[in-house]
Amino acid sequence: MTDPSPATSGQPIRLLLADDQALVRGALAALLNLEPDLTVVAEVGRGDEVVEAARASRADVCLLDIEMPGLDGIEATALLRRLMPSARALIVTTFGRPGYLRRAMDAGASGFVVKDTPARELAEAVRRVHAGLRVVDPTLATESLLGGPNPLTDREREVLREAIAGGTVSAIAARVHLSQGTVRNYLSSAIGKTGTSTRVEAARTAQERGWL
């Protein structure tokens, strides 16, 4: 991320900021607007507002947090990739988890950096992403390679997310529209893959590793 970026010319790069914390959005906007070739054209606080706001503002690069209401940043990235492929997605998050990095890249993100990235490096990341390059926090990249892929299936992730919310197996089964036996099988498999003893521990471990 310290290499020189390709030269930019013409109009400033148009940025959309998506973060559910207004203070964080404001701080990012203030920092990025100091750059002569960058301009913040839209701010949203929900993941399900990203695509519409990106279209309306003609954003070139969308800086997305991960944990947001409506849709998380990774889900918003996938939707943006499908419905507005001209806009690039750059994940900027507090949650620097290797599992999140893998999921974000699989969803079509062009970059992944953490929020404590220096302002100058963040601006450089935006330029590189806009130029069609990929930017990934080097520490996270190494941890992601060492950690291996997410071992959980989509269904296992679904039932673990429900397990975080609590409730009995029957309640989880009703919410995901599966039989109780099937839910137990998915939970048991997830417990084994996470090396834990209970579904609550499995859910927490998976969440900490960025697998959910």
CATH number assigned to the domain comprising residue 75: 3.40.50.2300
Task: Provide the 10 A C-beta neighbour count for residue 195.
Answer: 9
- Do 109 and 65 have their domain in common? yes
For residue 17, give the H/E element and its range: strand 13-18
Residue 2 within any structural domain of the chain: no
Residue 1 within any structural domain of the chain: no
Alpha-carbon distance 209 to 114, whole Å?
15
Average pLDDT, the chain: 86
Task: Provide the 10 A C-beta neighbour count for residue 186.
Answer: 24
- Cα Rg for the chain, rounded, in angstroms? 19
Alpha-carbon distance 176 to 173, whole Å?
5
Q: What is residue 203's predicted lDDT score, i.e. its pLDDT? A: 86
**What is the count of structural domains for the chain?**
2
Q: What is residue 29's predicted lDDT score, i.e. its pLDDT? A: 95
Tell me the pLDDT tens digit for each residue of 32-91. 999 999 999 999 999 999 999 999 999 999 999 998 999 999 999 999 999 999 999 999
- Do 97 and 40 have their domain in common? yes
Q: What is the pTM of this model?
A: 0.67
84 touches 51 (CB < 8 A):
yes
- Do 160 and 140 have their domain in common? no
Residues in the chain: 212
Q: Which domain holds residue 32?
A: 13-147
